[in-house]
């Protein structure tokens, strides 16, 4: 029997980022649908009843909106780049300065499928991030941020908690309307729900800001200005160097000096700035999150999924990127299927969450 326990939030984020990486490596709609299904399965099995766990449905709707908007854009801005024309809409003539842009006209199956594949890939990545938000306590993530970045970490945690707070506010307002006998639907119901939700979110934001200020967040204290300036410059400059180095490694046309040397130099500068800035901040931990076997298994499942999809790119790229010219049916190979099955294992092998 597995006793209920709350997993380390870092494990859920590593697992979700592994799934998002796997989704970014393919446009196969079958694989993308399986990735979304695996993330939804784990969320349904392992999310708790906390406010942030109720926001996953919003991410699913956001993913559906992304797919629909990509298809709509292909129809509006000319989707006739193909041989299989499905239907033709009246084309709107544009002035000469808008040459190369076409409004409506013929719509081909190749263009619609291209928009569908791109939209599903982006939607799958958004759903994976939503799964991490639903499974991991965003406030506990603040303890994982390095001491030198606690100010930025506070802002990030507050930003990540916006969607869960909005979801909780919507549920509270809808429950209150039902208790008062509200039966409106459509636009009238939206107006009756939207204003109280925004007011509630504003009140909660002000309360959170007051609580952070009373606990001393974002206060410089007695640290000299030169020390703060040096640590901040090293961290920001180092992170910029890391970004330039990663770009240099991925792009083969850039000079070699922008690759590995810039990456290592930026990483060294960022680490030095974090160590220098962390010395001026005293931190205490109450009930630190422990990392055990379930966390390791969860993280390995996410990393393994991304690694297997990376391996499939070199072994069978045609399976990850279905051909649009000529049109082919998306196939499901054993290796990607095993990778996505691995991603769904945390929904079974990890302990259930502790009820609040």
Q: What distance in Å separates the CA atoms of residue 282 and residue 256, rounded to the nearest whole number?
A: 41
Q: What distance in Å separates the CA atoms of residue 233 and residue 204, rounded to the nearest whole number?
A: 33
Shared domain for 340 and 248, answered yes or no, is no
Shared domain for 152 and 27, answered yes or no, is yes
Shared domain for 159 and 268, answered yes or no, is no
Shared domain for 342 and 237, answered yes or no, is no
Shared domain for 26 and 171, answered yes or no, is yes
- The residues that bridge with 88 in the sheet, in sequence order, are 106
Shared domain for 273 and 196, answered yes or no, is no
Shared domain for 238 and 216, answered yes or no, is no
Q: Is 304 part of any domain? A: no
Neighbours of 188 (CB within 10 A): 10
Shared domain for 118 and 56, answered yes or no, is yes
Q: Is 310 part of any domain? A: no
Closest among 201, 240, 155, 152 to 51, alpha carbons compared:
201
Greatest alpha-carbon span in the chain: 71
Q: Is 71 part of any domain? A: yes
Q: Is 286 part of any domain? A: no
Shared domain for 196 and 229, answered yes or no, is no
Task: Tell me which residue range forms the domain holding 243.
Answer: 225-279
Q: Is 294 part of any domain? A: no
The tally of domains found in the chain comes to 2
Q: Is 76 part of any domain? A: yes
Shared domain for 157 and 249, answered yes or no, is no
Helices 29-46 and 56-76: angle between axes, nearest 10 degrees: 160
pTM for this one? Answer: 0.73
Q: CA-CA distances (angstroms) from residue 38 to 310, 332, 348?
A: 18, 15, 11
Q: Is 290 part of any domain? A: no
Q: Is 297 part of any domain? A: no
In the prediction, which pLDDT does 233 show?
82
Per the CB < 8 A criterion, the answer to whether 192 and 184 are in contact is yes
Residue 185 is encoded by which pair of tokens?
């639907």
Neighbours of 84 (CB within 10 A): 12
Chain segment 50-106, per-residue pLDDT in tens: 766 777 888 999 999 999 999 988 888 766 677 777 877 777 777 776 666 777 777
| Ranges of residues in the chain whose predicted pLDDT is under 70 | 1-2, 51-52, 78-80, 97-100, 139, 142-165, 182-192, 205, 209, 212-213, 215-223, 225, 249-257, 277-287, 355-356
In the prediction, which pLDDT does 60 show?
92
- CA of residue 145 relative to chain centroid, distance: 18
Shared domain for 157 and 230, answered yes or no, is no
Per the CB < 8 A criterion, the answer to whether 43 and 136 are in contact is no
Shared domain for 106 and 134, answered yes or no, is yes
């Amino acid at each position: 029997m597995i006793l209920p326990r709350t997993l380390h939030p870092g494990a859920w984020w590593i697992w979700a980022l592994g799934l998002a990486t796997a989704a970014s490596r393919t446009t196969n709609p079958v694989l993308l649908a399986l990735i979304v299904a695996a993330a939804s399965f784990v969320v349904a099995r392992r999310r708790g009843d906390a406010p942030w766990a109720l926001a996953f449905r919003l991410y699913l709707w956001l993913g559906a909106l992304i797919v629909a908007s990509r298809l709509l854009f292909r129809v509006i801005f000319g989707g006739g780049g193909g041989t299989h024309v499905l239907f033709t809409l009246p084309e709107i003539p544009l002035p000469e300065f808008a040459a190369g842009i076409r409004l409506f006209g013929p719509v081909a199956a190749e263009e619609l499928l291209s928009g569908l594949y791109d939209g599903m890939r982006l939607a799958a990545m958004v759903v994976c991030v939503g799964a991490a938000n639903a499974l991991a306590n965003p406030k506990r993530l603040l303890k994982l941020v390095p001491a030198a970045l606690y100010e930025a970490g506070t802002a990030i945690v507050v930003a990540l908690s916006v969607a869960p707070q909005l979801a909780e506010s919507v549920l509270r307002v809808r429950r209150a309307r039902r208790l008062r006998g509200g039966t409106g639907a459509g636009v009238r119901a939206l107006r009756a729900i939207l204003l109280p939700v925004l007011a509630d979110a504003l009140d909660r934001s002000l309360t959170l800001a007051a609580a952070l200020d009373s606990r001393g967040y974002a206060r410089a204290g007695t640290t000299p200005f030169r020390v703060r300036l040096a640590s901040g410059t090293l961290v920001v400059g180092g992170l910029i160097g890391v970004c330039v180095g990663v770009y240099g490694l991925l792009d083969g046309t850039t000079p070699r000096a922008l690759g590995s040397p810039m990456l290592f130099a930026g990483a060294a500068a960022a680490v030095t700035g974090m160590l220098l800035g962390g010395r001026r901040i005293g931190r205490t931990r109450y009930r630190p999150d422990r990392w055990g076997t379930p966390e390791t298994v969860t993280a390995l499942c996410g990393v393994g999924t991304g690694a297997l999809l990376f391996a499939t790119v070199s072994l069978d790229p045609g399976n990850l990127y279905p051909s649009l010219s000529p049109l082919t049916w998306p196939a499901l190979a054993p290796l990607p299927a095993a990778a996505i099955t691995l991603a769904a294992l945390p929904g079974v092998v990890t302990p259930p969450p502790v009820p609040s």
